[in-house]
A and B are shown apart, each in its own frame.
Chain A
Amino acid sequence: AQSVTQLGSHVSVSEGALVLLRCNYSSSVPPYLFWYVQYPNQGLQLLLKYTSAATLVKGINGFEAEFKKSETSFHLTKPSAHMSDAAEYFCAVSDPLEYGNKLVFGAGTILRVKS
């Protein structure tokens, strides 16, 4: 069975500061990994994904994440936070051997950006 743990249900940073959102996963097979963002009262939007190519993945809005197999981690970073980054972020995992895209989500991290 797969699972995802997101450390910190709330993270607060100042505008211009580094954003670091943590994600650790558990999977019996090398997984696919995803970060999604959800703005208030909206659906989820894909930020970036790891599908066994380059371990450093760049996404939209200046975000990137690095897959570290030895640490079973896929942390999300952004060098400089903007007010518009305030949202809830979800890390998710899927099994590449399964047809389709059954996602297992973490509990989410709410990012607050202070001016």
Chain B
Amino acid sequence: NAGVTQTPKFQVLKTGQSMTLQCAQDMNHEYMSWYRQDPGMGLRLIHYSVGAGITDQGEVPNGYNVSRSTTEDFPLRLLSAAPSQTSVYFCASSRDTEAFFGQGTRLTVV
């Protein structure tokens, strides 16, 4: 059982480039979310989805887009990367009150 799979694990981007962080879950969870983790700030919610076709903004959505065409997949798009988006990104899917996290994507924007 794979759980939550994130790709890539590491990525370096130049300022202004765009990219998509992939997230897939095989647990048939309706709720999925993206967080970013920065030192001393914990994890902050970027976007979330309560089911296919339904997404909403979290605490820090600027500069990011999401879509949810299937239950399994919830990609996060960086439209024009900025150094402030250097972070570790975690995808999570939830059943009731328990969230299952992926291994993270470490993104550096230079």
Contacts and interface: CB of A to CB of B under 8 A. Distances in A.
A107 B33 contact: no
Contacts of A9: 40
The B interface, classified by DSSP as helix, strand, loop or mixed, is strand
B33 A102 contact: yes
A45 B16 CA distance: 34
B93 to A, nearest CB: 9
A46 B42 contact: no
Q: How large is the interface on A (under 10, 10 to 19, 20 to 34, 35 or more residues)?
A: 20 to 34
Q: What interface size band does chain B fall in?
A: 20 to 34
Interface centre among A45, A100, A102, A104 (most CB of B within 10 A): A100
Interface string B70-103: 0000000000000000000010101011110111
Given A44-B90, A90-B43, A103 B103 contact: no
Contacts, number: 64
Contacts of A104: 45
Interface in A5-54: 9, 32, 34, 41-46, 49, 51
B40 A46 contact: no
B12 to A, nearest CB: 17
Given A106-B42, A107-B41, A108-B42, A101 B94 contact: yes
A32 B48 CA distance: 18
A101 B90 contact: no
A73 interface: no
A99 to B, nearest CB: 6
Contact of B42 (A34, A49, A51, A90): A90
B98 A103 contact: no
Interface of B: 4, 30-31, 33, 35, 40-45, 48, 50, 58, 90, 92, 94, 96-99, 101-104
